[in-house]
Chain A
């Protein structure tokens, strides 16, 4: 009840504001276009999301310096949803109805994306989502520039099964207790079974958000590993729990040559607070690593280093780091610019149509292509081993970009789902 009132008032305020200012300052005269930036700048997710906001701002500066989008200057509107999932939806509504943004870049956790999704669909606005996720979703209003499970989780497990990865036969699926790890592990369990791994050779463990004492978990892993053949750990631990997890791993002497741990949510940024010397050899699977040698990556890192220095970004001004979600954000905003210029309009339907098949020379060294239908990027998969300095050595990569499968074939009933958002759009009508 209250919320509806609030929304009504908000809409009223927005329309008044639109009458007052909109007609003069927007599109028509000053030639500016607003974009929304919806990342948590406080709360638990600030650790990961703050740099994504800065990445958007950096890209905006670059684009504006080169004449903007179709001659329009981009004006970013930054809001702080404070790691509070319902607040994400409210802020999204505010961005769309009040600030009239043409597009929004934002969200990290799947739960925040699920929270804003109805808002974007109802108001028919665009969201660019830059983080790897569990799939099981295609919306016509969202472009997913992060990885789907087949672009990260499945190749990583396949690598560990291969001779080079150590021919792992037993598996520990370890994660934080929420939707992304649970869904990913469901997919992985089905995948492992299809490869002939027995039920007894899979152990699944979850810890709460912010868990900080991994003694018993690591003791359990050790025990499990000694009960049979070569064991590998797949970690979907999210957020800052990773620091105590890896510290304990190092202290307890569980070496990567004995029991390798492959992580899907640990990148350069997450390892910033960890002494990585005992962790050499543990793995991470991503679509980008800072250590990738490519001219586009050199340019990206250089731009970020200069930007972090100029804007005095804490941490990054002394030790600039780039990571996969930053790259995905960067690709997203440039693709949007290209699509707008192709469509010659900011109209959502026209831009969406123009997004299909957009390409961009990604910092990961490949040419990223937006799929013609399913709103996901074609991405190359890299597997890296942790080095003593906290960077990653790429030890395996796909030959070329991989098409995303948001509906994982390892979940029952997904074979009937269409690989494009048309279904949802029809439902709406």
Chain B
């Protein structure tokens, strides 16, 4: 229909048809109900300019003003104003023009209307996106449009989505047979929206409808429950990978070298701030989306450098004196926090996610896995793998292990233990920096960032067993899962307490952690 109209216009080269004036004016300056009606009127008009106008309203690009009793409406985009009715350029916009505010209700109406229009678009992608948009709940008034789209639709991916949309509209109204058919069709769907509709239908006065709805509801709920379980599993893996990243550096500095480094959290924080600085450099360029590629090595280097300086200046004088190390590094952590606060301010800084990290993928029914978390799980695995290679396959790794196991002996056979200490500490700090880079994509970047992770990191290392990398991995994942499952059952506050209590008991029973280092190395 729209295409026919467009063809008609082109054939006769009529200047663009004016929009429904009353509807545009009502949408710009009417009461709430009038505005909703105006949206429907404009959608029904169905031409390109109506769609553009609605889009502009939804995005807040429309201004309106009343001059001498005449209401004028403009679309203002990128500093250029166009009269919404005539399409003529307006320069300048008359004084006193006010923004046309679209609230959630209006935006939902507009989005629904636009999506319904797009169902007939020639491009497959547009149609699919529009169908998905409508699937999250659409106005029943769109039913004729959806049905028409359904008749024309041939694509195997889009058709079922449309069928569910049509069914969800028919569940509420229509004849009994239609409703029952719709309810049966909804049983195949796995969207949370269908559950809402079926739950409503399950309380229907009609016994047949009630029974059918309950049957369908059970099926949908079964599918959704699997999705929820999978979602929980993913949440556990995600938290586990974050704990792992935060604790991996500590596993080297504390686990292998025995340095109680209270400034570990601040090394994470420095990594996050480095990411922020890199991001600021990239903000003006066209390659903004790729800033992480530069931020990852940068955060590693900066944190590693800070760590090595710390080791050379403070920590190496305190080897074998855990209490002094603890106090000294704690003091350093305060200094680092304060200096970052002076440099960047007490406020959190804004680290924007690159586009590919935003949003998520609909993996199961009703469960969205955010891209940022998926990438961080992959990143953690990668870091772990590289560290494993470094520790087992390289000369530096060999030296680190030998110094850990028997410092005197290593020294005797010519290992430069002092320098190895420095490199090892640098490595641990650098990995903390990587953790900071990853964390900046999920949470806050502020001077206190590290404080929230220091306890968790120590918990993971101690739980896993000091001096063991494998233990750290298992501990991080175990704690991640335990936290998330408990959270789902009891709420976040209780979950945190239960996990802490569990660890206290566990450490009492098994002070050496999950995996104990055995043999002569223990005494060293």
Contacts and interface: CB of A to CB of B under 8 A. Distances in A.
Nearest to B371: A251
Contact of A257 (B111, B193, B341, B371): B111
Given A46-B346, A240-B348, A272-B347, A163 B368 contact: no
Interface string A264-284: 000001001111001001010
Contact of B359 (A44, A228, A253): A253
A68 interface: no
Contacts of B15: none
Contacts of B228: 219, 223
A385 interface: yes
A222 B238 CA distance: 19
A41 interface: yes
B446 A47 contact: yes
A226 B231 contact: no
B346 A166 contact: no
Contact of B368 (A253, A258, A269): A253
Interface string B348-392: 111111000011100000111011110000000000000000000
A269 B347 CA distance: 9
B350 A258 contact: no
Contacts of A229: 196, 200
A225 B196 CA distance: 8
A78 interface: no
A253 B360 CA distance: 7
A365 interface: no
A186 interface: no
A275 B367 contact: no
Contacts of A226: 192-193, 195-196, 224, 366
Given A208-B496, A220-B488, A227-B196, A385 B104 contact: yes
B103 A395 contact: yes
Contacts of A222: 192, 366
B361 to A, nearest CB: 10
Contact of A219 (B232, B349, B452): B232
Interface string A243-264: 1100110111101111010000
B192 A208 contact: no
Given A252-B368, A315-B347, A395 B101 contact: yes
B247 interface: no
Contacts of B367: 219
A214 B238 CA distance: 11
Interface stretch (B178-186, B315-323, B437-445): B437-445
Interface in B188-232: 192-193, 195-196, 199-200, 224, 228, 231-232
Contact of A273 (B348, B366, B484): B348
A315 B193 contact: no
Given A47-B446, A222-B366, A258-B137, A216 B484 contact: yes
Interface string B25-37: 0000000110000
Q: Which of B372, B443, B487 has the most CB of A within 10 A?
A: B443
Interface string B265-280: 0000000000000000
Interface string A38-56: 0001111011001000000
A243 B366 contact: no
A43 B446 CA distance: 11
B136 interface: yes
A261 to B, nearest CB: 11
Given A212-B452, A226-B192, A243-B443, A219 B231 contact: yes
Nearest to A159: B103
B168 to A, nearest CB: 13
B60 interface: yes
A232 B439 CA distance: 29
Contacts, number: 168
Contacts of A272: 347-348, 350
B370 A251 contact: yes
Contacts of A409: none
A288 B370 CA distance: 34
Interface string A366-396: 0000000000000000000101100001110
A278 B358 contact: yes
Nearest to A216: B487
A208 B499 CA distance: 14
B491 interface: yes
B341 A42 contact: yes
Contacts of A223: 192, 224, 228, 366
A314 B344 contact: yes
A21 to B, nearest CB: 32
A164 B34 CA distance: 12
A398 interface: no
Interface in B446-468: 446, 448, 452
Contacts of A247: 353, 372, 442-443
Contacts of B49: none
Contact of A314 (B345, B358, B372): B345
Interface in A158-196: 163-166, 177
Given A208-B492, A252-B368, A387-B60, A257 B231 contact: no
A67 interface: no
A387 B107 CA distance: 12
B235 interface: yes
A43 B373 CA distance: 29
Contacts of B200: 229
A168 to B, nearest CB: 11
A318 B344 CA distance: 12
B395 interface: no
B476 to A, nearest CB: 14
B75 interface: no
A164 B103 contact: yes
B56 interface: no
Q: Which of B104, B196, B224 has the most CB of A within 10 A?
A: B104
B113 to A, nearest CB: 13
A207 B493 contact: yes
A281 B107 contact: yes
Contacts of B448: 43-44
Contacts of A50: 346-347
A206 B492 contact: yes
A402 to B, nearest CB: 21
Contacts of A240: 348, 444, 446
Interface in A16-53: 41-44, 46-47, 50
Contacts of B32: 163-164
A211 to B, nearest CB: 6
A387 B224 CA distance: 33
A47 B445 CA distance: 12
Given A47-B446, A206-B491, A215 B484 contact: yes
Contact of B199 (A228, A273, A283): A228
A47 B199 CA distance: 45
Contact of B370 (A42, A206, A252): A252
Interface of A: 41-44, 46-47, 50, 163-166, 177, 205-208, 210-213, 215-217, 219-220, 222-223, 225-229, 240, 243-244, 247-248, 250-253, 255-258, 260, 269, 272-275, 278, 281, 283, 293, 314-315, 385, 387-388, 393-395
Closest 4 CB pairs of A and B: A314-B345, A226-B192, A251-B370, A273-B348
16 contacts: A164-B105, A212-B452, A219-B235, A222-B192, A226-B196, A228-B199, A229-B200, A251-B359, A251-B360, A251-B372, A252-B370, A269-B347, A273-B351, A278-B358, A314-B347, A385-B101
Interface of B: 32-33, 60, 98-99, 101, 103-105, 107-108, 111, 136-137, 192-193, 195-196, 199-200, 224, 228, 231-232, 234-235, 238-239, 242, 341, 344-353, 358-360, 366-368, 370-373, 442-446, 448, 452, 484, 487-488, 491-493, 496
Given A251-B371, A314-B344, A314-B345, 16 more contacts: A206-B491, A213-B235, A215-B373, A215-B484, A217-B487, A219-B228, A219-B232, A228-B196, A244-B442, A250-B358, A257-B107, A274-B350, A293-B98, A315-B347, A394-B101, A395-B104
